[in-house]
Amino acid sequence: MSRTLQAAPTAGFSRILALGGARGAGSTPNEDLVAPIDSSDEWIRRRTGIVTRRRAPRDEHVEDLAERAGRRAVEAAGIDPADIDVVIAATVSWMQPTPAMAPIVAARIGASPSAAAYDINAGCAGYCYGIGQADAMIRAGAARHVLVIGAEKLSDYADPTDRTISFIIADGAGAAVVGPADQPGIGPTVWGSDGSHADVITMTHTWLDVKHAEAGSPVPWPTARQQGPSVYRWAIAQMPKVARQAIDAAGLDPSDIDVFIPHQANLRIIEELGARIGMRDDVVVAQDIVDTGNTSAASVPLAAERLLREGTARAGQLALQFGFGAGLAYAAQVVRLPEAVSAAAGEE
Ligand SMILES: CC(C)(COP(=O)(O)OP(=O)(O)OC[C@H]1O[C@@H](n2cnc3c(N)ncnc32)[C@H](O)[C@@H]1OP(=O)(O)O)[C@@H](O)C(=O)NCCC(=O)NCCS
């Protein structure tokens, strides 16, 4: 007798249940960085909005930040860590190709001993990629509680003499517990990439360059670089379209958006994108960039947890969130903000 192949039963909707964050323990103001790049506090504030950025000391690692943010999100969600059945870690700054960071963090926080755990590298879009995956997994019946963590220690990739990106980057982690829901809490994810322009945000060298360096002329530690004006123009041209597609796919209009949480790359970009999307004048705009800096995959969840923790945004509001960056990867979705947020990041 032939049997019929069964698919996993699909399961309703998903929503973000809780958020948590952790920022690098130190704060590095503009003044500390300007001398080797012939810049000034005034230039950096005017061109990027950044006043200071959070940086982790040498003995605080990216997995420590990820663990702290993840633990806080799970505690705020009020669920047993053992009920987390998938851990997704979005990062560009985990320093070893294998094993991945996510299984290590899953074990540290006490996730289900059989939790699936894996890293994704989608640059500054990584967290929003992860939220899209978590939503799809839960609705498809492949998972019940997914912990999505964006975590970076970007200061390891900073070159104090680089004028293009090093003065922007920072360290931190933000995490979301995504779980089942009766009503939609996460709208469709609009995502993509354009690898034909992968050179506009990249590294000075690859590990193979280091390996194959000529004897007597070692290749220096690889650090990050960007073609800032090209990235700026691309973000301004591309992201308003992507944002409107995500709003449309969620069955909404820009005027329905209460809270705007874009990748925290540059305050000028944030303001220009906001104006081009056409949201209401009273939309709450995340500005965590000003004193946290650019934490790549961690920037959207850190900005979100702060808005909720400080009461600038409220549970139940509709937030447009998106990330964009290296690989020219991008992802956007509309989410309903959760009721639970860890207070702990406010004490750091
Ligand atoms: C990096 C960035 C802040 C540079 O700002 P910008 O306004 O584009 O600056 P430009 O590169 O056009 O340079 C303008 C002037 O400032 C100077 N300059 C560039 N970097 C400088 C720095 N760090 N400090 C002081 N002056 C600087 C340039 O030499 C140039 O001088 P000139 O007018 O005399 O020729 C900006 O391009 C940016 O934020 N880009 C997008 C970043 C982003 O979104 N990344 C996404 C993923 S992380």
Q: Quick one: pLDDT at residue 296?
A: 98
Q: Quick one: pLDDT at residue 348?
A: 85
DSSP-based three-state secondary structure for 295:
coil
In this prediction, residue 307 has a pLDDT band, given cuts at 50, 70 and 90, of very high
Residue 187 above 90 pLDDT?
yes
Q: What is the CATH number of the domain that holds 185?
A: 3.40.47.10
Cβ contact 12:181 at 8 Å: yes
DSSP string covering 42-86: HHHHHHH--SEEEE--TT--HHHHHHHHHHHHHHHHT--GGG--E
In this prediction, residue 1 has a pLDDT band, given cuts at 50, 70 and 90, of confident
Pairing of strands 318-325, 259-262: parallel
29: cis peptide before it, omega within 30°? Answer: no
What does the CA dihedral 260, 263, 267, 268 come to, rounded to 10 degrees? Answer: -90
Closest-CA residue, ligand 1 atom 24, reads 39
| Ligand 1 mutation pick, 197, 232, 233, max ligand atoms within 8 A of CB | 232
Mean of the pLDDT values across residues 290-298?
98
Mean of the pLDDT values across residues 261-290?
98
Residue 7 above 90 pLDDT?
no
Q: Quick one: pLDDT at residue 190?
A: 98
* Distance from C-alpha of 178 to C-alpha of 246, rounded to nearest angstrom: 19
- The CB-side HSE value for 203 (13 A sphere, CA atoms) comes to 17
DSSP-based three-state secondary structure for 347:
helix
Domain contains 1: no
Closest-CA residue, ligand 1 atom 40, reads 228
Atom nearest to 201 CA in ligand 1: 47
Cβ–ligand 1 distance for 37 under 6 Å, the answer yes
* Distance from C-alpha of 50 to C-alpha of 265, rounded to nearest angstrom: 9
Cβ–ligand 1 distance for 265 under 6 Å, the answer yes
Residue 37 above 90 pLDDT?
yes
Closest-CA residue, ligand 1 atom 2, reads 228
The helix or strand, by DSSP H or E, that contains position 165, with its residue range, turns out to be none
Structure confidence by residue, pLDDT tens digits, 87-109: 999 999 999 999 999 999 999 99
Cβ–ligand 1 distance for 330 under 6 Å, the answer no
Cβ–ligand 1 distance for 327 under 6 Å, the answer no
In this prediction, residue 215 has a pLDDT band, given cuts at 50, 70 and 90, of confident
Give the list of residues 6+ apart from residue 196 with CB closer than 8 angstroms, or none: none
Q: Which DSSP state fits 10? A: P
Closest CA to 60 of 151, 125, 146: 151
The overall average pLDDT reported for the chain is: 97
Residue 346 above 90 pLDDT?
no
Residue 6 above 80 pLDDT?
yes
Cβ–ligand 1 distance for 12 under 6 Å, the answer no
Atom nearest to 163 CA in ligand 1: 23
Burial class (CB in 10 A: 0-12, 13-18, 19+), 110: middle
Q: Quick one: pLDDT at residue 216?
A: 83
| Cα of 311 from ligand 1 centre, angstroms | 33
Q: What is the sign of the dihedral through the CA atoms of 303, 246, 243 and 313?
A: negative
Other Cβ atoms less than 10 A from the Cβ of 140: the count is: 14
Angle between helical axes of 267-277 and 41-48 (0-180°, round to 10): 20
Domain span including residue 80: 6-348
In this prediction, residue 11 has a pLDDT band, given cuts at 50, 70 and 90, of confident
Burial class (CB in 10 A: 0-12, 13-18, 19+), 249: middle
Mean of the pLDDT values across residues 194-220?
93
Q: Is pTM, for the whole model, over 0.95?
A: yes
> How many percent of the chain have pLDDT more than 70?
100
CA 199 and chain centroid, separation = 21
Name the token pair of 267.
């305050």
| Cα of 226 from ligand 1 centre, angstroms | 10
Domain contains 48: yes
Mean of the pLDDT values across residues 44-65?
98
Cβ–ligand 1 distance for 169 under 6 Å, the answer no
Q: Quick one: pLDDT at residue 15?
A: 98
Name the token pair of 75.
């505690």
Q: Which DSSP state fits 11? A: -
Mean of the pLDDT values across residues 214-220?
87
Number of domains in the chain: 1
Structure confidence by residue, pLDDT tens digits, 135-175: 999 999 999 999 999 999 999 999 999 999 999 999 999 99
| Cα of 48 from ligand 1 centre, angstroms | 9
What does the CA dihedral 24, 263, 227, 224 come to, rounded to 10 degrees? Answer: 30
Q: Quick one: pLDDT at residue 9?
A: 83
